[in-house]
Amino acid sequence: MKIIRPKNTMQVAVERGRNCIHLDANHSYIMHEVEVESGKRAGAFEHVTSLPDRPNRFQPGSNLAGRMILPFIGGMGDVISMLPVIAYLHRHHPEVTIDVAATPGPGEIWSLCPLIESVLPYPLTDKAWQTYDGYLTMEVVQETGQAPGRSLPDVFAAALGLELAEYEFPLNVSSLEGMLRKHPGNRGAREVGIVVGNGQSNRWLPRDLILTMLRLLGTRRSHCTLLGHADNDWPMPTGHHITDLRSKTESVTELAARLLQLDAVITPDSFIMHLAGALAVPTVACFTASSASHADPYRHVKALISHRSCAPCHGAVGNCPEGFTGCPAWDDQSFKPQVVIDAVKAVIRQRGIAAIHTMA
């Protein structure tokens, strides 16, 4: 992290272009190395100075008390994956309060975590930064999204020198009650959510697979709810058994409320997979280009994987490394429509058995 003095007011793209940061020429800002390097290449920064002495970086086993800040630039799924780390710190350092500085999308999810004291806009000014007693940094994490054989919470914890014994996902679900009343769902019929992408990533469910599953679920009198991205190049059928909510959930809170009403979710590796997993919604997650270890922290997520030798290639965005059009891993038997639907039945049955055991 550095203090940045931009030449003038402008916008600088955040990691992978997720959001834009408005920089004010009258202040210095504390930013992540990824923005620093991007800004240097773009010629946006006049000069970069060293990090101020205050606050101190968090160290495992330290007796640091007071206010800590987490400057966060990750994706929305990364927020969910950081929650077990926040829960760990809250248990072992109850004397510490944690604020988060984040861009609007991730900030909305952070605001649902009761262990976070405040959610502030990212980036922080130098003056605001120095009011804290310590900071948490994830900058040392390299290629976190594709760490083979390791879940994201474990990768994030290791970056801070911690080791998780369990996965907790503290989300204030009670705040969703109003949304649940607003959207009563489809009572009387099994409701299955299907997450649709925009076709730009190898990890999104292929359109033909989605269409076949919609047809098969319709013949089984199941109601289907489409979630994710609307895309004019990917038209979807309409019908009495289909609710199209693509790009229509106005907030993460509304999306979470709808997920809680579903009997199951079918999804690729996505933010919705992480959110459904954290909310204990029965989920079938299909992994091709990315690592199935992302599903490990979630008790009610069943991972389907390709058995092709090239999977996972970790090329979740962009062209196939082997030159294929699309991802050939989707041709695996694991992703045949009936196999996926059978997995949906299994996760619904598994959660029902778990609920009976809990009541007993």
**Overall average pLDDT of the 201-226 stretch:** 91
Residue 7's pLDDT is: 66
In this structure, what are the phi and psi dihedrals at residue 344, rounded to the nearest 5 degrees? -60, -45
Residue listed under structure tokens 């996926």: 340
User: 159-177 pLDDT, tens per residue?
Assistant: 888 899 999 999 987 766 6
Has residue 33 got a pLDDT over 80?
A: no
Q: How many residues does the chain have?
A: 360
**216-220: long-range contacts (C-beta < 8 A, 24 or more apart)?**
216/337, 216/338, 216/341, 217/192, 217/241, 217/341, 218/242, 220/190, 220/341
Domain 57-159 has CATH 3.40.50.2000: yes
What are the tokens at 292? Answer: 């199935």
In the chain, which ranges are continuous DSSP H helix?
Answer: 33-42, 76-92, 104-110, 126-129, 152-159, 177-182, 207-219, 252-261, 271-278, 337-359
Read off the DSSP letter of residue 317: B
Has residue 72 got a pLDDT over 80?
A: yes
Provide DSSP, 27-57: S-EEE-HHHHHHHHHHT-EEEEEPPPS-SEE
Residue 62's pLDDT is: 72
**Overall average pLDDT of the 317-325 stretch:** 74
Strongest mean pLDDT among 49-63, 77-91, 191-205, 239-253: 77-91
Name 282's Cβ contacts closer than 8 Å, sequence gap at least 6.
Answer: 263, 264, 265, 300, 344, 347, 348, 350, 351
Q: Which residues of 288-302 are buried (b: 16+ CB within 10 A; e: fewer)?
A: bbbbbbbbbbbebbb
Q: Which CATH number fits domain 183-359: 3.40.50.2000, 3.40.50.11900, 3.10.20.90, 3.40.50.1000?
A: 3.40.50.2000
Domain extents for the chain? 2-49, 57-159, 183-359
Per the CB < 8 A criterion, the answer to whether 55 and 129 are in contact is: yes
Residue 147's pLDDT is: 60
Residue 336's pLDDT is: 96
Ranking 230-244, 307-321, 346-360 by mean pLDDT, the lowest is: 346-360
What are the tokens at 235? Answer: 């038209």
Per the CB < 8 A criterion, the answer to whether 38 and 2 are in contact is: no
Residue 236's pLDDT is: 86
Residue 173's pLDDT is: 76
Q: What are the start-end ranges of the E strands in 230-324?
A: 242-244, 264-268, 283-287, 301-305
User: 106-139 pLDDT, tens per residue?
Assistant: 999 999 999 999 999 888 888 899 999 999 877 6
When pLDDT is cut at 50, 70 and 90, the band that residue 354 belongs to is low
Has residue 318 got a pLDDT over 80?
A: no
**Greater model confidence, 343 or 325:** 343
When pLDDT is cut at 50, 70 and 90, the band that residue 181 belongs to is low
What are the tokens at 258? Answer: 């709808």
Whole-angstrom distance, CA of residue 227 vs CA of residue 205: 12
**Overall average pLDDT of the 328-343 stretch:** 95
Average of per-residue pLDDT values in the chain: 83
201 SS3 class: strand
Instruction: Assess whether the region 57-159 and the region 183-359 belong to the same CATH fold.
Output: yes
User: 263-289 pLDDT, tens per residue?
Assistant: 999 999 999 999 999 999 999 999 998
pTM: 0.88
Has residue 35 got a pLDDT over 80?
A: no
